[in-house]
Amino acid sequence: MTAAERDRYSRQILFPGIGETGQKKLLESRVAVVGCGALGSFHAGALARAGVGHLTLIDRDYVEASNLQRQWLYEEEDAAQALPKAVAAANRLARINSSVNVTPVVADLTPANIADTLEGATLLLDGTDNFDTRYLINDYAVSENIPWIYGAAVGSYGLVMPVLPGETACLKCLYPEPPSGAQPTCETAGVVNTITAIIASLQVSLAYQVLVGGEVPRQITTIDIWSGAMRTRKQPVRDPDCPACGRREFVHLEGRRRVPVSLCGRNAVQLHERARPLDLADLASRLEPLGAVRRNEFALRFVLSPYELTIFPDGRAIIKGTTDVGVARSLYARYVGS
């Protein structure tokens, strides 16, 4: 550790739980943050400020004005430019701590890309908003013996749980199937920005304990910041019949492509309709006579009221204005091609 690093992180070094040995471990650590929304943007900022040496930020979405209420790294200009969240986060982190190596990945985490995307990471942080991706993270983490920290928040309520493969219950132990019925989302139930900050802080605190080799509490923590209730309960023991950590059947790692998915109450559908890259400049020239087009190096946005298509160089698209997969596919085929 250099003298400058000792000075920058001196307050952490003074804390007995971290110390100089722990700080050296943080500087050498590689952490992946999956999802750079309300939770993940806080994760990334806190980890960078703490001196975690290598961060991989994965997010499939772009910054919108409605994100700014709770997503801590983004500014109005990011939303105006419709920058991908991973890119906007990396840009901001470079100004917060230029010594941290940050790799932004503008993509949906899938069975086809998860091994390459998360290669080298020794800890995974959950900043996602859906069980499909969490099950995929869980399968990968258990199969590779990598710890990960589960977190979720909506309304004024949130929960946190560490998953330490071989030691604790995994996500599949607790939720063999995703919760049934309509579930509240930030778009349908709202969210208070303090609950996302608290849940993300607890996740990062657990991450520090994992990274420095501390004793990680084996517990589930739930908080409702509106009622003031905070509860912890001992984490259940591993289920020997769990498909993932018991029988080691990693069904979510199977397959090559993701099915179309409606995005968390956002009146939008994400599609993976092409297996080859797109030339966004060429696509822009074809679409400009038909509607409003904006393009940067990361994505193209095409507005044809009442729909808005955001198309990425890998062929992935987010079609806003519908939750009907058939309508979304029809729009994609009509304006992008098959």
In which order are the strands placed within the sheet that holds 268-272?
261-262, 268-272, 316-320, 307-311, 300-304, 292-295
Instruction: Output the CA torsion 179→147→72→101 (10° steps).
Output: -150
Q: Are 127 and 86 in contact (CB under 8 A)?
A: no
Q: At what angle do helices 38-50 and 85-96 cross, to 10 degrees?
A: 30
**Catalytic residue of the set 36, 173, 186, 245:** 186
Nearest to 220 by CA among 185, 276, 271, 168: 168
Q: Provide the β-strand partners of residue 126.
A: 34
**DSSP codes, 17-47:** TTHHHHHHHHHH-EEEEE--SHHHHHHHHHH
Query: Which strands, in side-by-side order, build the sheet including 54-59?
Result: 101-106, 54-59, 30-34, 123-126, 148-154, 157-163, 219-224, 229-234
Task: Work out whether the CA dihedral 296, 88, 212, 50 comes out positive or negative.
Answer: positive
d(CA 75, CA 292): 24
Q: Is 186 a catalytic residue?
A: yes
The neighbour count for residue 155, using CB atoms within 10 Å, is 17
The answer for residues whose C-beta is within 8 angstroms of residue 108's C-beta and 6 or more apart is 60, 258, 270, 272, 316
Q: Say if CB 103 and CB 55 are below 8 A apart.
A: yes
Closest CA to 148 of 230, 22, 43: 43
CA nearest to 150, candidates 103, 219, 53 = 219
Integer Cα distance of 104 and 41 in angstroms: 12
Active site residues: 186
